Amino acid sequence: MANFDDQKAYATQENTFFDDGREEELVEFVTNHPRKDEIKGSPEKVLQAIDEFGRTKKYLMNVGEDKGKIVTDTIKENRPQVMVELGGYA
């Protein structure tokens, strides 16, 4: 099994992990990020900023870059005509 990169670890999950204002904090974090000019218009950089928030500020239920690569590679390999997301975080 591959070793886990501790630098990719997300913040510790609290007892309350939704509906506590973290979504608004995330929006503030991304829109006021020191690199906001680079982030604007770049979906990849937006996702990186979201991951940064999840690592340094508050726990988020998101896929992250490692699992995201697995999903992306699977989509590229299988080229499905229809996809359904279950358990999406909104």
Q: How many CB atoms lie within 10 A of CB 57?
A: 14
Q: Is the pLDDT of residue 39 over 60?
A: yes
Single out the residue of 45, 84, 47, 76 nearest to residue 62, CA to CA.
47
pLDDT at 14: 77
* Percent residues over pLDDT 90 in the chain: 42
Give the whole-angstrom CA distance, residue 55 versus residue 61.
Answer: 11
Across 8-17, 19-28, 33-42, 75-84, least confident range: 8-17
pLDDT of residue 87: 67
For residues 9-17, average pLDDT: 75
Mean confidence (pLDDT) of the chain: 85
